[in-house]
Structure 1
């Protein structure tokens, strides 16, 4: 699990999470190369169960608390869960009338077969996945709380 604290209420962070999820499947060549089940955006907007973005399908959307995405490609079956937890204080150094929100990103995946094991080595064990997940959280934070 990875997390960051954002000086904004959960509703503002939720909107930024949805905006960022809409672009998760970029670059599209990667989605095609690894054979993702879901290659094109479709379904309801704003994101709701059944919505699709390249590489992911929305399984749960409980605004502004939890968004669960799942995906399948030729090397892995995975979920990505975003949880938003308000600190409930109503104070913030950047937004005096807003609460801070802890944003957590949790991934879970299986890597079937020999090719799955190789993919896990290349993406997970090399820490590329960790860097990518931290980057997603950073982009969400910057959307809501510009530097």
Structure 2
């Protein structure tokens, strides 16, 4: 999947009072907790996600999977690219880590997605248009920040 070809949806940022290595570990921990639940499994099955199991190396690396997501690229302490697809969307969630001063890391989460057809458009309205996606991503970032600090 070519990430750059997916339309930009949004980007959220937080600054973490921790070094990039700690933030990187925090991302993996939060993803494992967030996407390993029974609820996530049901959601992935309902939508027909390509990836429906948690598997692969830990800490996260290329080839690791979560329910609904697969690690397409992993540059520890710098960038984590997650991709996925289901009946209504093809998507990517890209975490980028940048230095933000001594002992501080800027963590950004960029979402890109395509929602084909009328049903995809309705799904986009339900997930993106309601603000639910933005809330979920901000919660992920906050959880990473709390865990790393």
- TM-score strictly above 0.5: yes
Task: Spell out structure 1 runs of 4+ moving beyond 6 A.
Answer: none
Q: Which residue of 2 aligns with 1:86?
A: 99
Cα drift, residue 24 of structure 1: 3.5
Q: Is the 8 A contact 1:48 1:60 kept in 2?
A: yes
What is the count of residue pairs matched by the alignment? 136
Task: Spell out, residue by residue over 1:85-129, the C-alpha distance to the aligned partner (whole angstroms, 9 max, x if none).
Answer: 112x42xxxxxxxx1000000000000111101100100011111
Give the helix-richer structure, 1 or 2.
2
Note the alpha carbon deviations across 1:52-109, whole angstroms, 9 max, x for none.
Answer: 111100001001000000000111000000001112x42xxxxxxxx10000000000
> 2:122 is paired with a residue of what secondary structure?
helix
**1:8/1:101 contact within 8 Å kept:** yes
Rg larger for: 1
- In the alignment, is the contact (CA less than 8 A) between 2:25 and 2:59 conserved in 1? no
SS of corresponding position for 1:23: helix
Alignment correspondent of 1:125? 129
**Could you list the runs of 5+ residues in structure 1 that have no partner in the other structure?**
91-98
Query: How many angstroms does 1:21 deviate by?
Result: 1.6
CA distance in 2 between partners of 1:138 and 1:45 (Å): 21
TM-score, normalised on structure 2?
A: 0.87
The answer for unaligned runs of 5 or more in structure 2 is 1-10
Question: What is aligned with 1:140?
Answer: 144
